[in-house]
Amino acid sequence: MLLSYPILAALLGMLIAQIIKVPIHYLASRELKWKLLFSTGGMPSSHTSLIISLTTAVGLTSGIYTNDFAICVVVSLIVMHDATGVRRHAGYHAEVLNKLLVDFNRLIDTLKDPNIKKTESREKLKELLGHQPTEVFFGAITGIIVGGLTYYVYPF
């Protein structure tokens, strides 16, 4: 086989999580957003789905009492903590910085000649970086399902 089962499960976990973000977002907002296929954040967490698919695959092939599985569990906890902690807060900071930039540009415009309306426009910082705990939870559920189903269809 070209890919080992754990690698295939992990990649499929990430791919499926990214794909299902589009219909989930559509059902929640009635807005079809194809850019979600290539973005971070959103429901479910594709990072969590990737690492939990890998962890599930290693648990199914090596056993849950092995060092390999223990390493996967620890890395999974780090990834999930990072998704709900550091990355989510970086997204909050980006949101505040974007608002500050808009307010600052308005202030500069009012201090300049009122006839000049040219404001330097910069690309906004990406605000959707991390995940809510429910998004990580459903990323984990997605990863377990994908890792388990891949185990039964993978030709060993």
Burial of 73 (0-12, 13-18, 19+ CB in 10 A): middle
* DSSP letter, residue 45: P
* pLDDT score of 100: 82
What residues have CB less than 8 Å from 75, skipping those under 6 apart? 51, 55
For residue 154, report the phi and psi dihedrals to the nearest 5 degrees: -75, 130
Average pLDDT, the chain: 85
- pLDDT at position 24 is 93
End-to-end CA distance of the chain: 8
How do residues 113-155 score in pLDDT, each as one tens digit? 666 555 556 676 565 556 788 999 999 999 999 999 999 999 8
Residues 17 and 139: beta-carbon distance below 8 Å? yes
CB 36 within 8 A of CB 46: no
pLDDT at residue 156, rounded to an integer: 76
Q: Determine the pLDDT at residue 149.
A: 96
Quick one: pLDDT at residue 155?
81
The interaxial angle of helices 46-62 and 67-84, nearest 10 deg, is: 170
Instruction: Name residues of the chain where pLDDT drops below 70.
Output: 1-2, 87-89, 91, 113-122, 124-130
- Whole-angstrom distance, CA of residue 88 vs CA of residue 97: 14
**Nearest 5°: CA angle at 71, between 67 and 75?**
170
* Closest CA relative to residue 82, chosen from 106, 47, 115: 47
| pLDDT for res 80 | 92
| Per-residue pLDDT at 1 | 59
Return the domain boundaries, the chain: 1-79+133-156, 86-129
